[in-house]
Amino acid sequence: MKVGHVAVVGRPNAGKSTLVNYFVGQKVAIVSDKPQTTRHRIVGVRTTGAAQMVFLDTPGIHKPVHRMNQRMVDATYDALRDADVIVWVVDASARPGAGDAFVLDRLRRANTPVILAINKIDLIHKPRLLPIIEHFSTQMTFHAVVPISARTVDGLPSLEAEIAAALPEGAPLFPEEYITDQTERILTSELIREKVLLNTRDELPYSVAVAIDQFEEPSDGSPTTRIFASILVDADSQKPIVIGKGGDMIKRIGSEARRDLEAMLGGPVFLDLHVKVREDWRDNERLLDELGVGSGPAWRKPSLTP
């Protein structure tokens, strides 16, 4: 069968995580309209009768400002080195710029088949699509160019076929039922962070993280999972934004997160959230390790076989 690692790369907010979630068949990466939502490399596996595609969802390539950002970009570069195929996702509704030129430079040096996935075609008029394809096709030679909409799934079967065709033949790396390397603890912290991003929108910058303080699985006849988590911000002025007037914001975040967590864990969840100020956490190496920012769980290509 066709087997290999598929690095999904691109600029922030291009739709990479939505694409990976579709192929894997469940939510392994959180999604928001804010750039830099994905902070570490995520492994999601799709196994069919003819292929096993190990997708590597990566942080968007951007100019690092903090140590956190540098770790994110490094995780993407690691994925490029490990990949058998690269899917470069570009936003059809955004004007090409210096960021695309920077990504192109990295792709030219990868010496790996690159598939260009032109995403969000549902947001543009069809006559605009051909000039976009022509623009990028003059920049480098692609294995394939596939217009898609990750939101409406338009073109995704064609993209999957091109990915499988570009992969080498080999034995499966994972059991057929394997989906992701993300632990329940990591998925929990990410789901909570997603609700913070969705509810605070432009009020809160990217300086928010979620730390799981305690994760108690059901025991002693109780079906409830008990989760205690801290929402970290880096300034006192940001704390009231997350708490909200009379605590309404953090209650909303908790309610939405609990609903998704109960669906993921398959049972009732008790969720206790607190907001803490940790100045300069984005440059704190120890805390970044605890939060899993960067490469995520310990994972390297040679040791993938469970």
Over the stretch 122-134, which tens digit does the pLDDT of each residue have?
999 999 999 999 9
What's the pLDDT score for residue 58?
76
State the residue range of the domain holding 167.
Answer: 2-179
- Domain membership flag for residue 304: no
pLDDT of residue 46: 96
Strands (E) in the chain, as ranges, are: 2-10, 42-47, 51-57, 85-91, 114-119, 144-147, 208-216, 225-233, 269-277
Q: Tell which of 179, 210, 244 closes a domain.
A: 179
Say yes or no: 109 and 203 in one domain.
no
- Categorize the per-residue pLDDT at 306 as very low, low, confident or very high, splitting at 50, 70 and 90: very low
Q: Are residues 174 and 263 in the same domain?
A: no
Q: Report the domain count for the chain.
A: 2
Residue 62 has pLDDT above 70, yes or no: no
Q: What is the mean pLDDT of residues 103-131?
A: 92
Is residue 302 domain-resident? no
Distance CA 114, CA 86 (A): 5
Does the structure show a pLDDT above 60 at 251? yes
Q: Where are the alpha helices (DSSP H) in 231-305?
A: 239-243, 248-265, 285-291
Q: Tell me what the mean pLDDT of segment 262-276 comes to.
A: 95
Statement to judge: residues 101 and 188 lie in one domain = no
According to the model, what pLDDT value does residue 111 have?
86
Residues 45 and 169 in one domain: yes
Q: What is the distance between the alpha carbons of residues 57 and 40, in angstroms, rounded to a whole number? A: 8
User: In the listed set 164, 179, 194, which residue is the last one of a domain according to the structure?
Assistant: 179
- Specify the pTM: 0.84
**Other C-beta atoms within 10 Å of 228: how many?**
15
* pLDDT above 50 (res 301): no
Mean per-residue pLDDT over the chain, rounded: 87
- pLDDT for residue 182: 85
Residues 111 and 170 in one domain: yes
* 163 plus 22 within the same structural domain: yes
CATH number of the CATH domain containing 201: 3.30.300.20
Residue 54 shares a structural domain with residue 84: yes
* pLDDT surpassing 70 at residue 187: yes
Q: Are residues 48 and 117 in the same domain?
A: yes
User: Does 60 map to a domain?
Assistant: yes
Q: Using pLDDT thresholds of 50, 70 and 90, give the confidence band for residue 35.
A: low
Question: b/e string for 286-305 if b means 16 or more Cβ within 10 A?
Answer: ebbeebbbbbbeebeeeeee
Residues 236 and 136 reside in one and the same domain: no
Residue 143: inside a domain: yes
- 300, part of any domain: no
Query: Is the confidence at residue 302, as pLDDT, over 60?
Result: no
What CATH number is associated with residue 105? 3.40.50.300
**Domain co-membership, 225 together with 110:** no
- 163 and 217, same domain (yes or no): no
9, 93: one domain: yes
46: in domain: yes
> Is pLDDT at 79 greater than 50 in this prediction?
yes
Q: Are 143 and 113 in contact (CB under 8 A)?
A: yes
- Is position 255 within any domain? yes
pLDDT at 299 over 70: no
- Residue 200 φ then ψ, to 5°: -90, -25
The residue that leads in pLDDT, 234 or 271, is 271
pLDDT range class, residue 36, cuts 50, 70, 90: low
Q: What confidence tens digit (pLDDT) does each residue in 189-225 have?
A: 989 989 998 898 766 767 788 999 999 999 888 899 9
Tens of pLDDT, residues 44-59: 999 999 999 999 887 7
Residue 305 lies in a domain: no
Could you say which DSSP state residue 32 is in? -
Q: Which residue would you say has higher pLDDT here, 118 or 285?
A: 118
Which one is predicted more confidently, 64 or 132? 132
Please say which residue of 149, 179, 209 terminates a domain. Answer: 179
In which region does residue 264 sit, left (phi positive, over 0), alpha (psi from -120 to 50) or beta (all else)?
alpha
